Amino acid sequence: MKQRTSEAKTLRNTQCGQTVTVMRLTGSGAIKRRIMDMGLTKGTQVYVRKVAPLGDPVEVTVRGYELSIRKADAEMIEVS
């Protein structure tokens, strides 16, 4: 199994105003299922709308609706 490198781009370290594509989810079990249920699946386009002053939460637009994601959850979403 491939190990995630420290330079992998995640939703957490994406700049405001960027549109990215979900490449993979690194979480497992219930956390991964919850993220997928919110519409964040492989190949989905995500627009980063806002980031709170302390970085938590991150507000994104995905599949036509706005979604706020915790910093810890955004770290599990690898994007390109």
pLDDT exceeds 70 at position 5: no
Distance CA 2, CA 11 (A): 19
pLDDT at 7 over 90: no
Cα angle vertex 39, ends 71, 1, to 5°?
70
**Band of the pLDDT at 24, cuts 50, 70, 90?**
very high
26-35 pLDDT tens trace: 988 899 999 9
Q: Supply the range of the domain harboring residue 39.
A: 2-79
Give me the percent of the chain exceeding a pLDDT of 90: 78
Q: How does residue 38 score in pLDDT terms, banded at 50, 70 and 90?
A: very high
User: What CATH number does residue 26 fall under?
Assistant: 2.30.30.90
State how many domains the chain has.
1
Contact 15, 48 (CB under 8 A): yes
pLDDT for 3: 53
Helix (H) / strand (E) element for 16: namely none
C-alpha 18/C-alpha 1 separation (Å) is: 30
